[in-house]
Amino acid sequence: MTSSKRNKSLYIDTEALSTLALVQEGLLAPVTKLMGRREAEEVDRTRQYQGLPFPFSFILAPRGKRNETIIPTLEPGETVDLINEGKKVGELTVEEVFPIDPKERLIHIYGSADPTHPGVKNTMARLGEWAVSGPYRVEYPLIRDTVNRIRQMIRRTGAQKISAMMLAANPLNRAHERIIRQILTRADLVVLFLRKPFTDEGLRYDIRHNAVQLFIDNFLPRNKVLVVPFENTYIFAGYNELVLDALLARNAGCNELVIGKNHAGLGLYYDQNRLNTIFDTLSGLDLEITTVDEYVYCDTCRTLVSTETCPHGQHHHIHYHSESIMTLIQNGILPPPILVRKEISANILASLFPNRFENLQETYYSLMPSSGLLEPKSDEQFYVKLMELYQTSSLT
């Protein structure tokens, strides 16, 4: 798209563009458009939209000197260009312009306006004081491609029971594998929405995607699992995340959402002096919500077990703590195979530390058993064989 000089311009970041595209492609239905002032206030008050749960209003209020100068001057019926990173990515036809209270907006999204909260801090930097509503269209192929891939997979496989799971896989560990296999025992198709945040924290998305795809291709039945990108923008933050995850899964064609029992959104809360859970909120959705137990490695059972079924105490349990596993990986250390499958570790380390070894071929054939044929070996193959050496029994 090329920008038109006759239209005024609004400047939006990629996170806002992605969120607009999610709604445009129907993934957050019943919301299909930007809300006007009265509608937004009603949704913020009731946490519902058209009889279904929706945690807060869907509005566009981009920050920035140019936006804050232009938005108050817009008139109903006027068309404005939406600009992202210097390029026109869409248009919006103005219906209404109205002021908002950024602090109140933050509380609706995060339950807090504390500037030390990472989500609040990020959103505060990009949230303006003027909102604009009206029909719009944007170009963002990633979201449309995701929807098409899921629908094509459903048609091709004829799947009836379609389960969704939101997955960070940072990194993919043995507990993730166990849960995915558990879901597969009762589903025709599992859709893994791989979180793709707008931050640089953790492993890069491409590294996590490659690791998950390696597991699917080599260790799971064919045509039973599909991994797609899920750009979890600011609206998926905080205690509202589960409601929006459920809407997205349902609108993508899934009829079950699987979550862990330790999910932050499962807590009890009071509403009108009545004790509720998130399941009360989601009761109107045509979607089954299934919880799965936390898995640990028990050094007495000597296998992966559910904390609900293992009779041994916490002191016998090894937990799959992502940040701790990441500490090993970021320092170039292969995690033990009871934590991460060796093929996954090798794939990740080879991506993080390319060309790490000066004399890889010489080192490989000096240390590893071989058939006698000297063939070039990759970093990934080296890590796999190195882990096999670690697992070899001692002579003593």
CATH label of the domain that carries residue 219: 3.40.50.620
Residues 43 and 124 in one domain: yes
DSSP letter string over 188-225? SEEEEEEE--SS--SS-HHHHHHHHHHHHHHHS-TTSE
Give which of 301, 309, 297 is closest to 338, Cα–Cα: 297
Query: Taking the C-alpha atoms of 340, 304, 320 and 191 in order, what is their torsion angle to the nearest 10 degrees?
Result: 70
Residues 157 and 288 in one domain: yes
Inside any domain, residue 2: no
Sequence-distant (≥ 6) Cβ neighbours of residue 396 within 8 angstroms: none
Backbone torsions φ then ψ of 395, nearest 5 degrees:
-75, -20
Q: Which domain holds residue 279?
A: 141-292
Give which of 201, 198, 229 is closest to 213, Cα–Cα: 229
Interval 146-157: pLDDT, tens = 999 999 999 999
pLDDT of residue 62: 97
Question: Do residues 343 and 218 make contact, with C-beta atoms less than 8 angstroms apart?
Answer: yes
Mean pLDDT of all residues belonging to the chain: 90
Euclidean distance between CA atoms 75 and 97, whole angstroms: 8
Residues 132 and 155 in one domain: no
Inside any domain, residue 117: yes
DSSP letter string over 71-124? GGG--TT-EEEEEETTEEEEEEE-SEEEE--HHHHHHHHHS---TTSHHHHHHH
Give the other-Cβ count within 10 Å of 37's Cβ.
16
**Mean pLDDT, to the nearest integer, of 315-335?**
94
Euclidean distance between CA atoms 259 and 329, whole angstroms: 26
**Mean pLDDT, to the nearest integer, of 277-305?**
82
Residues 19 and 95 in one domain: yes
Inside any domain, residue 190: yes
Euclidean distance between CA atoms 314 and 296, whole angstroms: 10
Burial class of 232 by CB neighbour count within 10 A (0 to 12, 13 to 18, 19+): buried
| Residue where one domain finishes, among candidates 108, 138, 168 | 138
Higher pLDDT among residues 189 and 307, named by residue: 189
Inside any domain, residue 395: no
Residues 165 and 288 in one domain: yes
Inside any domain, residue 396: no
Inside any domain, residue 309: yes
**Mean pLDDT, to the nearest integer, of 307-312?**
91
| Residue where one domain finishes, among candidates 138, 164, 181 | 138
Inside any domain, residue 1: no
Residues 185 and 246 in one domain: yes
**In which band, very low, low, confident or very high, does the pLDDT at 281 lie, cut at 50, 70 and 90?**
low
Query: Could you tell me the end-to-end alpha-carbon distance of the chain, in angstroms, rounded to an integer?
Result: 70
| Residue where one domain finishes, among candidates 117, 138, 159 | 138
pLDDT of residue 234: 86
Give which of 271, 64, 285, 257 is closest to 166, Cα–Cα: 257
Give which of 332, 333, 320 is closest to 168, Cα–Cα: 320
**Mean pLDDT, to the nearest integer, of 289-309?**
91
**Mean pLDDT, to the nearest integer, of 318-324?**
93
CA 70 vs. chain centroid, Å, equals 33
Inside any domain, residue 3: no
Residues 79 and 119 in one domain: yes
Overall number of domains in the chain: 3
Residues 377 and 342 in one domain: yes
Residues 163 and 200 in one domain: yes
Residues 216 and 254 in one domain: yes
Euclidean distance between CA atoms 304 and 289, whole angstroms: 24
Euclidean distance between CA atoms 62 and 66, whole angstroms: 10
Domain containing 92 — which CATH number? 3.10.400.10
pTM score, two decimals? 0.90
Residues 163 and 211 in one domain: yes
Residues 188 and 285 in one domain: yes
User: Which is it for the CA torsion 360, 365, 369, 375, positive or negative?
Assistant: positive
User: Which DSSP symbol is given to 336?
Assistant: P
